[in-house]
Amino acid sequence: MDINQLKQTVSALLNPTKGILAADESSKTIQKRFDKIGLTSTPQTNLAYRSMLFTTPGVEQFLSGVILYDETIRQEIEGVSVPKYLENKGIIPGIKVDKGVVDFANFPAEKITEGLDGLRGRLEEYAQMGAKFAKWRAVITIGEEIPTQTCLEANAEVLARYAAITQNAGLVPIIEPEVIRGGSHTLEKCAQVTAQTLKAVFERINVHKVALEGLLLKTNMATAGEDNPKQATADEVAKATVDALLESVPKELPGVVFLSGGQSADMATDNLQAINNIGGPWQLSFSFARALQGEALEIWARSARGARRAGKEKNVPAAQKAFLEVTKKVSLARQGKLS
């Protein structure tokens, strides 16, 4: 493990004017998104869509990295590999390496993430392809009598093992324990569970001797459940989120990149701005997926609605314009400069 190289990658990903695009939707997930706009997911359609995002002129001003899916990292744009294309634009390529969530045996409604088997070999292959960082997601659900401590500890152990293996393979691990918004829970409950989750994670991170300076945390903001009629203001979300992080995240960690987690683009952006207005001992950035892509996807596919094929080339400039504008807006929020 070259800790200096890991630190350099972390520093570049945490560029104070940029953030990370999560474009690592699995085949199943991207089909769900395409279903809403009348498109069929194929490797070619997926690449056409993601190429529209990656080739957006000027987007490198606001993106430090992109998280890729296994399918995408093996494809090409303009005759070069996707990782090389991104690197040529000054954007760091990363890769999702978990194998998805499954039911947690004996614990109804709770999940555990699979993928540790064979991880070392996959990481070595991805590094040869040009990946500089990796991501692993765990899912934590709030409900009646859940999450259980057993579920939190099991997912924390898996995240820590993944992080240790990833650092030893020469890539920066992003750990993503996500407390999902589904449900009617309160802001206070989400903040409590988020702190509880992160405490468990960093306890195991410490036990597995993961180098904090070569690690990033991707996590949720503390928000009320999406079914709760009482949604918090951006300032309330920011205070609850930062307080939860101060309670559970080591100050030595270089940075936190927030996921949008089903929030609208405006909600996630306003909350990110408010979080950065408070600040903390870490860089507070973003790693959004739908919040960055949603409008661009709609525009790109507009003429193909019902035709079950990729968006027409004539839609690409308008889609890219929308993508660039929202990415710039989120970048300003990351700096606390959004007017």
pLDDT tens across 237-278, in order? Answer: 999 999 999 999 999 999 999 999 989 999 999 999 999 999
Active-site entry in 96, 111, 218, 239? 218
Each residue's pLDDT tens digit, 90-111: 999 999 999 999 999 999 999 9
Active-site entry in 25, 110, 157, 176? 176
Query: Residues of the chain with pLDDT > 90: what percent?
Result: 89
For the record, the structure tokens of 238 come out as 């920011």
Is a pLDDT exceeding 50 seen at residue 308? no
Is a pLDDT exceeding 80 seen at residue 305? no
- 323 within a domain of the structure (yes/no): yes
User: Domain range spanning residue 10?
Assistant: 3-334
Determine the average pLDDT of the residues in 59-86.
98
- 324 within a domain of the structure (yes/no): yes
For the record, the structure tokens of 284 come out as 């507070």
Helical axes 265-278 vs 290-301, angle rounded to 10°: 150
Determine the average pLDDT of the residues in 153-169.
98
Has 218 been annotated as catalytic? yes
Furthest-apart CA atoms within the chain: distance in Å: 54
Do you know the residue count of the chain? 339
Name the helix (H) or strand (E) containing 81. strand 80-81
Is a pLDDT exceeding 50 seen at residue 17? yes
**pLDDT score of 301:** 84
Distance from CA of residue 47 to its chain's centroid?
Answer: 19
Burial class (CB in 10 A: 0-12, 13-18, 19+), 318: middle
Least trusted range by pLDDT, from 31-45, 106-120, 144-158: 31-45
- Residue the block writes with tokens 């973003």: 286
- 152 within a domain of the structure (yes/no): yes
pTM equals: 0.95
Partners of 76 in the beta sheet? 81
**pLDDT score of 311:** 58
Query: To the nearest whole number, what is the mean pLDDT of the chain?
Result: 95
Distance from CA of residue 316 to its chain's centroid?
Answer: 24
**pLDDT score of 318:** 94
Structural Rg of the chain based on CA atoms? 19
Has 298 been annotated as catalytic? no
- 257 within a domain of the structure (yes/no): yes
How far, in Å, CA of 327 to CA of 58, rounded? 10
**Residue 87: CA count within 13 A, CB half-sphere:** 15
For 57, 205, 231, the CA distances from 133, given in Å and listed in that order, are 24, 17, 34
Determine the average pLDDT of the residues in 5-33.
94
How far, in Å, CA of 9 to CA of 180, rounded? 28
CATH number for the domain harbouring residue 20 = 3.20.20.70
**pLDDT score of 211:** 98
Q: Sorting pLDDT into bands at 50, 70 and 90, what band is 302?
A: confident
Total structural domains in the chain?
1
| CA–CA–CA angle 129, 260, 28 (5° rounding) | 55
- 339 within a domain of the structure (yes/no): no
Helical axes 234-248 vs 187-207, angle rounded to 10°: 30
